[in-house]
Structure 1
């Protein structure tokens, strides 16, 4: 009898606390502005996802705060995640989005510029698990190589690809493809953002770039038409070929050997958290839960989904727990593969993350 009575008391107490928590959260967020830090300049894939979320996120948070995007480009979004971790107020009124490979960078160590532990961030989730996306090598049709077979031959001219500044995906994937499938490539780094890389491609200053398929669909959909001036040579971050490109091979298919395939699979792990969102560490449990619930709820909102469809964005969300599981899988990767990634980052430092 005592146990049953105690259990009923606990349930009643918990139910009584919920409105109190909700009232406290509403009091905090009512009339308040949530700052959404984006680790890139306006117009790229991360920025587009962030602005879409900002338009709908507040209505799922008690008190219905406004959400304002603040672009903080620099160091392939490392500047933004360092700010979020070390400087941003830890009150639930600042969140951020940054490169998908920042958790990997945070786990590797050995870089004094990395000033965060990805396991201690307050994760909200990712708007995309990349289930419906692909990371593609997109090149001009007048490039000196016309197929992935020619692009792997050292007796053909190297593909000249553009990237931003500070070693991350936009720099790393071409080098990984060089080492695992034999891609003959040269990189031009230092472009400030996605728009400038696309402009360089249009002008013929570079042959192409690696980029999310969803970003191209959203910003340059005409480039994907059969009669366009561009073609896709290879797909990365895919276990199978994307349905839009059944004749384009995946990197895994082209791997030179099993060791190369294992490296590709490690490098593809961060794509499970393709568009990550997080808050600073040490948030109160109630505010962290409110933000996490709101993040998942917004992805079921019809208005949000309609806006995402208009932008041709991949919506395949995962929550905070799945983010942490993905980070754990990266952390237990074989040491020799993690060592390769450390050397890769040293090689590409000064190059950058495509958006």
Structure 2
């Protein structure tokens, strides 16, 4: 299903991108990073998902950039990634020697209008977008065989072990709200691993895990007859259409699950809000950007470098659980998915803010 929020301009974006590419390519030869060091800012601590992702990409990016500069990771944690991103926008020079990689945890405060945010995504220059996936599942003891039997859950209160109302767990929260499920969110989990353990202990009765964690830790529960997958969040193609997750082609995506339950496609402001945060948290979770004012020839150099890095047979052979089976957005595919990750309809934003305030006592001002 097509994202109703932000792909109306996809054709014009692609046209502008192709024209920009045509004019920028001759200047690319002027860019040479020989003997220099590129700092890849990550506004999270070492060892987290974004840090691992950047460190995986770094040697391939170094190999693909002209002059093969040293690419180092600069971790600037704090404020749930707001601190480092604010600092990057304020300090990074537009000379091609500083890039930043953020995640849904950085995009969500921006989309929600958090007053601590000092970064404007529209001013940055995206050169790569990496997606990820997730699967929602329940205990087999509830007697629901698959998404086609979601209606059986009406009148049943489910329990979800959450990391927080404005964390990535906002995506399942909105999914459950749109579906019409009665879910009590218990906050305080330090990670999705804690949520899974709560599920295994019987304290939580609905959960989701990201793709790699689902394959490793939940598939054995499914095979043992203890858990039932309901839906994946799915992925977005370059035109904004929701497609099945390539890692889980036999599991319906969220929109399909909604249609199975309600007999029609989802619509309305709550669904628009879900799509915005699903896009930012999963379908376009990790963008890489250059600072505002970076010359077009440097932007083009990075576009080409990331495209070459993604196509590198060594990267493809080694990507494993780091990138999964998801297509990495490069060149013309970047603009649409970046827009997904970083824009939201004002009405949808206001709906989410009101929902969080009224239902979970979350104040963002």
Tell whether the structures are fold-level matches, with TM greater than 0.5: yes
**Contact 1:167/1:349 (CA < 8 Å) preserved in 2?**
no
In the alignment, the residues of structure 1 paired with residue 253 and residue 127 of structure 2 have an alpha-carbon distance, to the nearest angstrom, of: 33
Q: Structure 2 matches for 1:43-82, cutoff 5 A?
A: 43-44=48-49, 46-82=50-86
The aligned counterpart of 2:185 is 187
Shift of 1:200: 5.4
**Contact 1:136/1:236 (CA < 8 Å) preserved in 2?**
yes
The aligned counterpart of 1:160 is 160
The aligned counterpart of 1:235 is 232
In the alignment, the residues of structure 2 paired with residue 64 and residue 242 of structure 1 have an alpha-carbon distance, to the nearest angstrom, of: 35
Q: CA 1:348/1:32 → structure 2, altered by over 3 Å: closer, same or farther?
A: farther
**Alignment partner of 1:177 out of 163, 166, 175:** 175
- Aligned-partner SS, 1:124: strand
Aligned pair count?
322
**What RMSD, in angstroms, separates the aligned Cα atoms of the two structures?**
3.9
Higher mean Cα deviation, 283-292 or 239-248?
239-248
Shift of 1:138: 3.8
Q: CA 1:314/1:155 → structure 2, altered by over 3 Å: closer, same or farther?
A: same
- Aligned-partner SS, 1:319: coil
Q: CA 1:117/1:176 → structure 2, altered by over 3 Å: closer, same or farther?
A: same
Higher mean Cα deviation, 88-97 or 117-126?
88-97
In the alignment, the residues of structure 2 paired with residue 282 and residue 221 of structure 1 have an alpha-carbon distance, to the nearest angstrom, of: 45
Once the two structures are superposed, what CA deviation does each residue of 1:122-163 show, in whole Å capped at 9, x if it has no partner?
2121133x6xxx432245657x67566579746434222232
- Aligned-partner SS, 2:127: strand
Confirm or deny that 1:303 pairs with 2:345.
no
Confirm or deny that 1:258 pairs with 2:296.
no
The aligned counterpart of 1:10 is none
Q: CA 1:293/1:79 → structure 2, altered by over 3 Å: closer, same or farther?
A: same
- Aligned-partner SS, 2:352: helix
Once the two structures are superposed, what CA deviation does each residue of 1:42-83 show, in whole Å capped at 9, x if it has no partner?
243x34422221232111112222333344444443334323
Once the two structures are superposed, what CA deviation does each residue of 1:224-275 show, in whole Å capped at 9, x if it has no partner?
7623754422322453544636355624542655325545444444344232
In the alignment, the residues of structure 1 paired with residue 105 and residue 335 of structure 2 have an alpha-carbon distance, to the nearest angstrom, of: 13
In the alignment, the residues of structure 1 paired with residue 344 and residue 48 of structure 2 have an alpha-carbon distance, to the nearest angstrom, of: 34
**Alignment partner of 1:226 out of 219, 223, 227:** 223
Q: Structure 2 matches for 1:19-168, cutoff 5 A?
A: 19=29, 21-22=30-31, 25-27=32-34, 30-39=35-44, 42-44=47-49, 46-100=50-104, 102-103=106-107, 105-106=109-110, 109=113, 111-128=114-131, 134-139=133-138, 153=153, 155-163=155-163, 167-168=166-167
- Aligned-partner SS, 1:343: helix
Q: CA 1:102/1:195 → structure 2, altered by over 3 Å: closer, same or farther?
A: same
**Contact 1:159/1:186 (CA < 8 Å) preserved in 2?**
yes
- Aligned-partner SS, 1:338: helix
The aligned counterpart of 1:9 is none
**Contact 1:214/1:314 (CA < 8 Å) preserved in 2?**
no
**Alignment partner of 1:292 out of 303, 306, 315:** 303
Question: Where in structure 1 are there 5+ consecutive unaligned residues?
Answer: 1-13
In the alignment, the residues of structure 1 paired with residue 73 and residue 193 of structure 2 have an alpha-carbon distance, to the nearest angstrom, of: 18
Shift of 1:99: 1.9
**Alignment partner of 2:290 out of 258, 265, 279:** 279
Question: Where in structure 2 are there 5+ consecutive unaligned residues?
Answer: 1-24, 236-241
The aligned counterpart of 2:19 is none
In the alignment, the residues of structure 2 paired with residue 333 and residue 34 of structure 1 have an alpha-carbon distance, to the nearest angstrom, of: 30
Larger radius of gyration: 1
- Aligned-partner SS, 1:318: coil
The aligned counterpart of 2:9 is none
